[in-house]
Amino acid sequence: MHFFKKLKKFLLFVTIFIIICFIGIKIYVKLSPEVVINTANSVFLYDSNGEVFFQGNDEKEWVSLENISPYVIDATIYTEDKNFYKHHGFDFLRIIKALYINLVNGETVQGASTITQQYAKNLFLSFEKTWKRKWDEMWYTIKIEDSYSKDEILEGYLNTINYGHGMYGIENASKYYFGKSAKDLDLAEATILTGIPKSPSNYSPLIDFQAAKERQKNILNLLVENNIITKKESNDAYKEELVFIGKKDRDELTTVMYYHDAVMDELKSIDSIPKSYSDIEGLKIYTNLDWDLQKEVEEIMEEEIPEDSEVQTAVVLMNPETGGVEALIGGRNYNYSTFNRATDSMRQVGSTMKPYLYYAALENGFTSSSSFTSEETTFVFNNQEPYSPQNNNKTYGNKPISMGTAIAYSENIYAVKTHLFLGGDALINVARRVGITSKLENVPSLPLGTNEINILEMAAGYSAFANLGYKVKPHFIERVEDKNGKVLYEAKDTKEAVLNPSITFILNNLLTATYDSDYIDYNYPTAIGLASKLTHKYALKSGTTETDNWDIGFNKNIVCAVWVGYDDNQALVPTEYKYAQNIWYKSIEYHERNLKEDEGWYEMPKNVSAVLVEPISGRLATDSDKKKKMMYFIKGTEPSSNEQEVFDSKVENILPS
């Protein structure tokens, strides 16, 4: 009892304090300029050709309250704020009740925000939780209530709230979900839509129909309790069979909203952009999106992955010179999952980690011909813990192989030996230099990709190889203007030299071994199936774990990174390992379709020489060799008759065994 007395006193004090603050703010608001509220979510996104691919709160889709179904209006009011027409922006009794319930339960189980407060929140680009933001939202709430009628506020709210799948406003949502205007929505349709804004990713009927129906049932019950509809009307509406359209009027792409979300996330991080829509009255955002490329990649993905499969994918195509992201797939269908796997997921990268290792090796005295013995190996360290990595399918040459062969077969033994010889810091140092910020554990298995890294991050890391040594920051936005054309932000190319261009050139050529028939010997190159399909020259590395499959490849024009796997980390089946490779080669080939065969490849630096070698061993080629391949070396490091063998022997002898 003593506790509850103290609690009541505390709540009374809080209430009095809030009322005093409210009166003071009210006076201040009267003296301040009017807030423009019909610009919330007034955003236009343009692709690289200057064509609009997304528009929020377009004037033609703004509908008056008279042209919105009364079922929508009633459902919204009694679900979100039944005292809307009675309060002045804040429902103090509701606030007190919510405080009491939340304190008793020890957690936030009930909210108390009004429609006006929610509308005020929608005037901001982001929903950061700071005291300043709370203060700004409170000020805007009071200002809105002071400047506009209740009908104007409700109309604005219904025209700007998020109904999921990129649909802002009731008219856009009504046309998207049901193919009709908002004035024509019946009770069942109105209540299913009203339930979405609370959590669009959870209550969209296109994502989770059962959750949407439960939410609809709660809304119908509220309407019954408040004598808006009868119990029979409620039951009939709940039982009504709903037919969803789920399409926009324009050329439909189910994946472009992943790009939209990435753009909006980047926008929030730009300091020069005002944080309130009311300060800018709309935005024009010019992006790097190549609409035709995005469309093609989506079609390729749908063609390669069976419709009934639950496997997911992420694809990034990025300009390595600028860091501009030209296409992005964050999942197979935004309608069913808004989680952006390209920007937000962390996955095991497998052998796509190895190029960072091999660059470090080339930088520390290794050459294209440097060899280790391919054989089953157990390493025993000072702590006496054995480590026994295995090659794919347990295939070993039982002979010395070159770095080119190790890359072609994605040899794990060669990679671990290289990693242990250099020391773990060498690989990590290169990864950090090219922009990998994810956690990397200095363990023997690091080059085999046991750590988790983001897909966009990996694409950015490979861009440093693609542009011969420069780190670039991936970005989606090129320019932002206000509605009058004033430039608020313009992206600047920030290239930082982090790698040696000559060594990078050598590595890039080694990465073509993954589909080169000259490396067919005791094993096959990992992407040999692409040899006859590629019309251009690319560096390529795949990565395979039990749960993840990657293909990342590039030339000087484009980096294409593809990941395939399950959200719940279930194991991939053998037939699913082909998806990433097929999506990769078809996507990058489409990008390069108008270029000549070698137009995207690199010129040999002046301090690099080309030497004919026997590719499997890496030794100098002789007349008796059936296979001879041109490999690249920094001048002065070309293999001679026995110098390379001495180096390789020295390296082998200092490895733990």
- Could you read off the pLDDT of 215-247 as tens digits, one per residue? 999 999 999 999 999 999 999 999 999 998 876
| Mean pLDDT lowest among 130-144, 243-257, 414-428, 637-651 | 637-651
Q: Over pLDDT 70: what percentage of the chain?
A: 84
Question: Residue 251: is its pLDDT beyond 60?
Answer: no
> Does domain 299-653 bear CATH number 3.40.50.720?
no
Question: Residue 214: is its pLDDT beyond 80?
Answer: yes
Residue range 256-277: average pLDDT? 87
Residue range 59-64: average pLDDT? 72
132 vs 586 pLDDT, higher one: 586
Question: Cα angle at 87 between 81 and 91, to 5 degrees?
Answer: 60
Residue range 491-517: average pLDDT? 96
The pLDDT of residue 109 is 46
Ranges of each domain in the chain: 165-252, 299-653
Give me the residues paired with residue 325 across strands.
318
Look up residue 606 and give its two tokens.
């002046």
The pLDDT of residue 117 is 83
The pLDDT of residue 102 is 55
Q: Are 115 and 81 in contact (CB under 8 A)?
A: yes
Residue range 541-561: average pLDDT? 97
* 388 classed as catalytic: no
Residue range 574-600: average pLDDT? 94
Look up residue 321 and give its two tokens.
């010179």
Residue range 273-288: average pLDDT? 76
| Mean pLDDT lowest among 151-160, 309-318, 354-363 | 151-160
Residue range 179-200: average pLDDT? 94
Residue range 198-213: average pLDDT? 91
Question: Residue 378: is its pLDDT beyond 70?
Answer: yes
Alpha carbons 468 and 617: distance in angstroms, whole number: 27
Q: What is the DSSP string of 543-610?
A: EE-SSEEEEEEE-SS-EEEEEEE-TT-PPPPGGGGHHHHHHHHHHHHHHTTTS-TTTTS-PPPTTEEE
573 vs 652 pLDDT, higher one: 573
Alpha carbons 524 and 505: distance in angstroms, whole number: 24
pLDDT in tens, 417-435: 999 999 989 999 999 999 9
pLDDT band at 252 (very low <50, low <70, confident <90, very high): low
pLDDT band at 336 (very low <50, low <70, confident <90, very high): confident
Question: Residue 642: is its pLDDT beyond 60?
Answer: no
Catalytic residue among 351, 374, 502, 617: 351
Residue range 516-539: average pLDDT? 96
Alpha carbons 456 and 470: distance in angstroms, whole number: 17
> Do β-strands 43-46 and 283-287 pair in parallel, antiparallel, or remain unpaired?
parallel
Question: Residue 375: is its pLDDT beyond 70?
Answer: yes
The pLDDT of residue 646 is 47
Residue range 306-311: average pLDDT? 95
pLDDT band at 599 (very low <50, low <70, confident <90, very high): confident
The pLDDT of residue 116 is 85
The contacts of residue 168 (CB under 8 Å, 6+ apart) are 41, 56, 57, 160, 161, 162
Question: Residue 466: is its pLDDT beyond 60?
Answer: yes
pLDDT in tens, 11-54: 777 777 777 776 766 666 665 656 666 555 578 899 999 998 88
Catalytic residue among 61, 80, 137, 638: 80
- What's the chain's average pLDDT? 87
Question: Residue 655: is its pLDDT beyond 90?
Answer: no
The pLDDT of residue 417 is 96
Residue range 621-637: average pLDDT? 93
The pLDDT of residue 141 is 79
Residue range 320-337: average pLDDT? 94
| Mean pLDDT lowest among 75-84, 164-173, 248-257, 487-496 | 248-257
Question: Residue 562: is its pLDDT beyond 80?
Answer: yes
The pLDDT of residue 120 is 81
Question: Residue 188: is its pLDDT beyond 90?
Answer: yes
pLDDT band at 106 (very low <50, low <70, confident <90, very high): low
Residue range 373-393: average pLDDT? 84
Alpha carbons 466 and 576: distance in angstroms, whole number: 28
Look up residue 261 and give its two tokens.
């979300």
Question: Residue 279: is its pLDDT beyond 60?
Answer: no
Alpha carbons 461 and 580: distance in angstroms, whole number: 19
The pLDDT of residue 132 is 63
**Number of CB atoms found within 10 A of residue 513's CB:** 27
The pLDDT of residue 250 is 44
The pLDDT of residue 424 is 83
Alpha carbons 98 and 112: distance in angstroms, whole number: 6
* 147 classed as catalytic: no
Question: Residue 377: is its pLDDT beyond 60?
Answer: yes
pLDDT band at 112 (very low <50, low <70, confident <90, very high): low
Alpha carbons 152 and 148: distance in angstroms, whole number: 6
pLDDT in tens, 289-300: 999 999 999 999
The CATH number corresponding to 165-252 among 1.10.357.10, 1.10.10.10, 3.40.50.10490, 1.10.3810.10 equals: 1.10.3810.10
